[in-house]
Amino acid sequence: MKNQPLITVGMMDRQTEVTGSLNGNFRGDGSEPVSGRFSAKAEGGMIVLTDEAFRETARSPSIRLTARQGSTFSLFNVLIGVGFHWERREDQTFQGNLIFQIRRDGMMTVINEISLEDYLTSVISSEMSADAPMEFLKAHAILSRSWLLSGFRQKEKKAETPVRTEKLGTGEIIRWYDREDHDLFDVCADDHCQRYQGITKIVADRVKQAVQETHGRVITFRDEICDARYSKCCGGLTENFDTAWENKRIPYLASISDASGPHQPIETEEEASAWILSDPKAYCRTKDEGLLEKILPGFDRETKNFFRWTVEYSREELEGILREKSGFDFGRLKEIIPLRRGPSGRISRLKIVGSKRSVIVGKELEIRRWLSPSHLYSSAFLVSAQHPPCEENERFIFQGAGWGHGVGLCQIGAAVMATQRFLAEEILKHYFLGVEIKKIY
Ligand SMILES: [Zn+2]
Ligand SMILES: [Zn+2]
């Protein structure tokens, strides 16, 4: 790869009308440059572009406006945080080119075409605080770049492999959710891919520096760009790829001890219990609020106990959650039995036994969805049921370790490593086994 690639980001999808402004000159299909306020409407299989005087400037199923040097564009009323409690609309400003595309159903998609490095600078500044340790920001820049580029490559050779798979047997539901492809663009602008707010938020110099200093650098394994995964906190041991997703081994996404010394992988229930109930040394075992504030976005900071945690439900409460989240009525909930765990203690097959039915559920994300009104922190947990003589007081107690799927880089551990003077490359090589960091453009 000689030059950095361009990436297409789906800004707004399935719209009938979009308004905004071109700040500076853009080149359309005509010879005249266009600028100023605009409106784009989907009308009878065409996109009709009008300027601020409501004059039609273009009409086509696909319109491309190429930015001249230094020009930006703004989109008005962009919906962000879709489906989350912070969902709202705001005006956003972007660098790069603006593309309108008609979908088969006659609706319109708005796409921003931008260089990969500019895109990275933007997503890293909206996802993390600019005060995060520099080597952590650099490690994250290399990781996000690798993840994106490996996605492009997978797309080229994919087609036949399902990204979201379900195996429905008798009383067994094993699901995982992998990257879902978008049809008209590479990534969307929401949390589904990576939150992208263009240059709306002031991009901090330190984030720019982290991206620039790692320009074109990616994580590779046997000369292939790595599908670099990450989660919030591994809990002291990272997890194997196949505990969370497809049944295949990815050598660089294998369990490691997130500490300076080794630790045996968890194999038995006794080992899981001893591990989860212990308070082992690990990079991600930190209560340093100052540091957490620098790496976690605001809405995540409410979670304080993520390294080891406890969640308790009354039996009725858990039955209600299960009914709603799984769609099954288990009747009177009797037992919750881990059937298979990965090396970090995360459960990938769990048996839920009720008076009306028993179901085996997996993998880790589906388990976490079923057992909480939102998501349980992780599937590395022990369940104990308290059955006192009086039935009304029955309780289920979950004691767990870590936050997220635990595969690949542990963000909190990586940030702590950066404060202990580890370099970005050392941090990445700690989490991704046997990899090299290479500059590919
Ligand atoms: Zn997406
Ligand atoms: Zn960790």
Task: Write the pLDDT tens digit of every residue in 118-154.
Answer: 999 998 887 777 789 999 999 999 999 999 999 876 6
Long-range interactions of 32-38: CB distance < 8 A, separation 24+: 33/68, 34/65, 35/71
Mean pLDDT of the 265-275 span: 97
Where is pLDDT greater, at 166 or 186?
186
pLDDT tops 60 at residue 106: yes
pLDDT-based confidence at residue 221 (cuts at 50, 70, 90)? very high
* pLDDT-derived band at 407, boundaries 50, 70, 90: very high
d(CA 126, CA 145) in angstroms, rounded, equals: 15
Residue 202: is its pLDDT beyond 50? yes
Counting residues of the chain whose pLDDT is more than 70, the rounded percentage is 91
Can you list the alpha helix ranges (DSSP code H) found in 161-268?
A: 205-213, 241-244
Task: Please tell me whether residue 78 adopts helix, strand or coil conformation.
Answer: strand
| pLDDT at residue 85 greater than cutoff 70 | no
Tell me whether residue 223 is exposed, middle or buried, using C-beta atoms within 10 angstroms of its C-beta: 0 to 12, 13 to 18, 19 or more.
Answer: exposed
Instruction: Say how far apart CA 165 and CA 320 lie, in whole Å.
Output: 26
Provide the pLDDT for residue 75.
Answer: 95
pLDDT band at 300 (very low <50, low <70, confident <90, very high): low
Is pLDDT above 70 for 108?
yes
Confidence of residue 379 (pLDDT cuts 50, 70, 90): very high
| Ligand number with the minimum distance to the CA of 179 | 1
- Ligand nearest to C-alpha 407: 2
**How many residues belong to the chain?**
441
Distance of alpha carbon 386 from alpha carbon 315, whole angstroms: 9
CA of 258 to the centre of ligand 1 (A): 30
Q: How far is the CA of 306 from the centre of ligand 1 (A)?
A: 27
- Answer yes or no: are the C-beta atoms of 110 and 99 closer than 8 Å: yes
Chain-wide mean pLDDT for the chain? 90
Range 190-195 average pLDDT = 79
Rounded Cα–Cα distance for residues 236 and 256 (Å): 9
Confidence (pLDDT) at 1 = 76
Instruction: Give me the pLDDT at residue 2, please.
Output: 77
Edge-to-edge, what's the strand order for the sheet holding 395-401?
308-314, 395-401, 381-386
Which residues touch 55 (CB under 8 Å, ≥6 apart)? none
Q: What's residue 72's pLDDT?
A: 95
**220 CA to centre of ligand 2 in angstroms:** 22
Q: Which of 247, 81, 220 is nearest to 147 (CA)?
A: 220
Which range (163-167, 266-270, 371-375) has the least confidence?
Answer: 163-167
Above 90 in pLDDT, residue 168? no
| pLDDT tens-digit map of 58-80 | 999 999 999 999 999 999 988 77
CA contacts within 13 A on the Cβ side of 50: 12
- Containing 222, the helix (H) or strand (E) segment is none
End-to-end CA distance of the chain: 6
* Rounded distance from Cα 273 to ligand 1 centre (Å): 37
Percent share of the chain, pLDDT over 90? 70
Least confident range from 92-96, 182-186, 202-206, 358-362: namely 202-206
Which of the residue ranges 2-6, 75-79, 275-279 has the most confident prediction, judged by mean pLDDT?
275-279
State the ligand closest to the CA atom of 283: 2
What spacing in Å lies between the alpha carbon of 196 and ligand 1's midpoint? Answer: 11
pLDDT at residue number 161? 42
3 state DSSP class of 315? helix
pLDDT at 155: 62
Given pLDDT bands bounded at 50, 70 and 90, which one contains residue 292? confident
CA dist., res. 379 & res. 154, Å (int): 28
Residue 198, helix vs strand vs coil? coil
What is the pLDDT averaged over residues 375-382?
A: 96
For ligand 1, the distance from its centroid to the CA atom of residue 194, given in whole angstroms, is 7
Cα 2 from Cα 142, distance rounded (Å): 18
